[in-house]
Chains A and B, each alone.
Chain A
């Protein structure tokens, strides 16, 4: 089982000061698997996926990504980050660079790709997220949905094996959520390994291979979407689902 795992978290613990934010978290993700993580705010779901590309450090346990264990070793961290793309709630585009430059920057400087090739790649990625016409604008001139799609294109340009999404639609106006989710569904259908933290249950039902429910730093329930939504085991999961489905 763990032979095929591309991401493996074993007994991961993390504290923010005295606050025990991740408590013995175990998670195995197989290649091409789509995991949706949900749970109330403060449950540690963002922290968990941020540990996977070492934006946060875990203090106990082990995290192995694509055969590389995340430790203080900077070289390992860089290698993992080249494998793992990340999309943030706040987009985090670089405001001083145009859309095209946002996308080409990492391929040119991290992968040493020639500029012309990187620009071609950027245009291809923009086609995928359906906004090639915005290539020469600056992030500040785009809508939230367009910015988030640029952020996805920027990550994809590094050709990652794994994509992490940290509440990618939470900062968007309702009418823009769909355009971003559509892109993510395409990506999932294309066979990308994805871990998505989101409260978009419709999206979860369509694409997720497995649902992970977290509360108070622990993984409370792990199940197929079918079982998760129709027949959850834990009371906390039931409570959470009743709260978010009754909005």
Chain B
């Protein structure tokens, strides 16, 4: 009966918003019931959390209009019926959360390092950045600049690392750990697969030993035992000792992740590279590793996120990272009982960083997949 030139449309309500709702939320009656239940829960939860975190919250002043300087002045302590979160504690202690006990006169150095870190990350994040090559040079020398900026030397006043704290320590540990562990992990992974038995055994032993020990034990090891191995008279900085422990720990995990990627490369790739006369290092650098790392991006980011969060464990050897400063603040009689606010803030900061990393890995996966079919045949 249809006219020849009539364009057949898809059945009503399978496309557009209504179609999407029907297929995804109200497909059958159990599905609809669950949808309604979830909507009800969100209806209960969202207004409450918005009210607590924003609408009824104190930021700097309480509901009487006084500037808050201790927990007794928080609206919710003055009038338990009203008042939400008391963010004033973050406001008052913000400096410590971000810089620890870094001297205020020198704090511009930390700020500069933060800004430079952003610039150093730019060429890694955006492959299409104009003048990317020059930005990359900066990325390579950034660690050296950051060291002198933060630690002192070259005309800068020394700031002992025991004055560092908060986000500064978290970022230094996280970034250095991840950045150093990556090349070390690659070497360990290649070493473990090496045909030379001595190298392969040493790498395997190292990886298995480090992986078999909890990070906390390694931190204690770094703090207590590392100085015993050093020649007399040389005192290793506390933060450096922790960094060594964190980096070793992370490299062992990174090595295993990259080894997984290496195992996924078909032997034909090695043979093709060899038949073209490539040496072991050329073959690995140009052919094998680029493919292996591409395959391993999700687990690499996964272990990196893991490390970033594990840096909070340094609190047990007396280094105050972001969480450490939070716990220190809680112990202050002025701010007793504000654990919700402090843990909420600390979680939020960690979430921003880790969520950023995970989005970045998705972007990378997408970008590297375009036009490349990994299974060549």
Chain A residues within CB distance 8 Å of chain B: 53, 55, 78, 81-82, 84-86, 88, 90-96, 105-106, 109-110, 137-141, 144, 147, 151, 154-155, 158, 171
Contacts and interface: CB of A to CB of B under 8 A. Distances in A.
Interface of B: 266, 268-269, 271-279, 282, 286-287, 290-291, 294, 371-377
28 contacts: A53-B274, A55-B271, A81-B274, A81-B276, A81-B277, A84-B275, A86-B271, A88-B272, A91-B377, A92-B269, A93-B272, A95-B372, A95-B373, A95-B375, A95-B376, A96-B291, A105-B276, A106-B277, A109-B286, A110-B277, A140-B372, A140-B373, A144-B377, A154-B276, A155-B275, A155-B276, A158-B276, A158-B277
Given A96-B291, A109-B282, A109-B286, A85 B275 contact: yes
A85 B375 CA distance: 23
Contacts of B371: 137-138, 140-141
Contacts of B291: 94-96
A193 B50 CA distance: 78
Contacts, number: 85
A78 B279 contact: yes
A96 B275 contact: no
Given A110-B278, A140-B371, 19 more contacts: A55-B275, A78-B277, A78-B279, A86-B275, A91-B376, A94-B269, A94-B291, A95-B291, A95-B373, A96-B294, A109-B278, A109-B286, A110-B276, A110-B282, A140-B375, A141-B371, A144-B377, A151-B272, A171-B377
Contacts of A91: 376-377
Contacts of A93: 272, 376
Residue of A140, A155, A158 ringed by the most chain B CB atoms within 10 A: A140
Given A82-B277, A106-B277, A140 B272 contact: no
Contacts of B279: 78
The list of the 9 closest CB pairs from A to B, nearest first, reads A140-B373, A92-B272, A92-B268, A106-B276, A86-B275, A81-B277, A95-B376, A82-B277, A110-B277
B194 to A, nearest CB: 14
A140 B374 contact: yes
A106 B274 CA distance: 10
A105 B291 CA distance: 15
Nearest to A85: B275
B103 to A, nearest CB: 49
A140 B368 CA distance: 13
Nearest to B268: A92
A90 B268 CA distance: 8
Contacts of B290: 96
A158 B275 CA distance: 10
A82 B271 CA distance: 14
A151 B276 CA distance: 11
Nearest to A157: B276
B20 to A, nearest CB: 33
Nearest to A86: B275
Nearest to B294: A96
Contacts of A90: 266, 268, 377
Contacts of A81: 274-277
A96 B372 CA distance: 6
Contact of B373 (A86, A138, A144): A138
Contacts of B286: 105, 109
B293 to A, nearest CB: 10
A118 B371 CA distance: 23
B199 to A, nearest CB: 16
